[in-house]
Amino acid sequence: MADLKISQLPAATVPLAGTEVLPIVQSGNTVQVSVNNAIASRASLGANTFTAAQEWATGTAIASAATINLDTATGNRVHITGTTAITAVTLTRGPSTLVFDGVLTLTHNATTNNLPGGVNITTAAGDRAIYESDGTTVYCVSYNRASGLPVVAGASAALVLLSTVNAAGSATVDIETTFNSTYDNYMIVASGITCVTSGILKGKFKLGGSYSGDYDFHVTNQSDSSTAYSALAAESVVNFTTLDNLDSGATSTAGFVMYVYKPSSTTLKKQATWTGGVNRLNASSSVVLCTGAVGVSQSTALTGVQFFMASGNITLGTFRLYGIANS
């Protein structure tokens, strides 16, 4: 038989029987081995028992798009970047684990993106999902929120954590991720706020892409010895006063809960209300309850809320934005 290149040989009949022989080099000698023996210690396409840990690779991140293709993923685990809504997923088998790096909408589709409960999901950074396919339908078989809240809104899932901003010697704290039409109303919870210079906490709304506005507001401060009420109109900033006369230092602290109503509407004028308190026992031995309401003359969509001190920085504080489930 003349010497032939492997590429010149005729194709074998498949599937192989397992009794076919292959030449191999063993201990410097060329010997033959059957196909069955050659693959005896390898995983087969049938059932297998793994006796050691199997590592799943984290592949290259995939940018969010209307359709994402998990068949071309370079690992069984991938991060999903971007904020574009995902309406379809391409997957032949799976499983494939997704880690979301930001806020986007997963749109339920009975065939191409079958989600738990049959409802859309708004992701948050750190949320995880496991996808599988039976060859016909692509299923999200598991979805875990970083916040620990359940996926399908109910009595225990009325609030969905959207973002967290931690102040650290900050001139401003900007809450912007994400006000949109997903929820009618939003809630901001601020806690552990301390400041460099005693004073008033002020703020602005982001309207039309910039922090501006023409604000009318009412504020009431009630301490253990007095009650103070103030009302101002056509102001360029809001005096939230939750930090009114907050003593500088780590032990005098404040917090509040603020509700923002219909921020995405382009026909309704924007409004918010808040309730909070300040514990300024460092020097003045006073605990203050603060309540207020603010409205602006603009009906432009609101996309952010900014907080800052009248003087100096916000030393510490955690500001969390929640979407309030519509039903």
How would you label 130-151 residue by residue, b for 16+ Cβ within 10 Å and e otherwise? bbbbeeeebbbeebebebebeb
| Tokens 């030449």, residue located | 23
pTM across the whole model: 0.56
Confidence class for position 153, pLDDT limits 50, 70, 90: low
Tell me the β-bridge partners of 34.
21
pLDDT of residue 301: 95
* Domain range annotation of the chain: 62-144, 158-324
Q: How many other CB atoms are there within 10 angstroms of residue 306's CB atom?
A: 17
Q: What is the pLDDT of residue 285?
A: 56
Residue-wise burial string across 95-125, b where 16 or more C-beta atoms lie within 10 A, e elsewhere: bbbbbbbbbbbbbbbeebbbbbeeeebbbbe
Domain 158-324 has CATH 2.60.120: yes
**Gap between the Cα atoms of 39 and 52, Å rounded:** 18
Write down the pLDDT at residue 23.
87
For residue 174, the model assigns a pLDDT of 97
DSSP bridge partners of 237: none
Predicted pLDDT of residue 88? 97
Dihedral, 232, 235, 240, 245 alpha carbons, nearest 10:
-80
Do β-strands 238-239 and 227-235 pair in parallel, antiparallel, or remain unpaired?
unpaired
Amino acid identity at 246: L
> Is residue 155 predicted with pLDDT exceeding 50?
no
Check pLDDT > 70 for residue 221. yes
Q: What SS3 class is residue 190?
A: strand
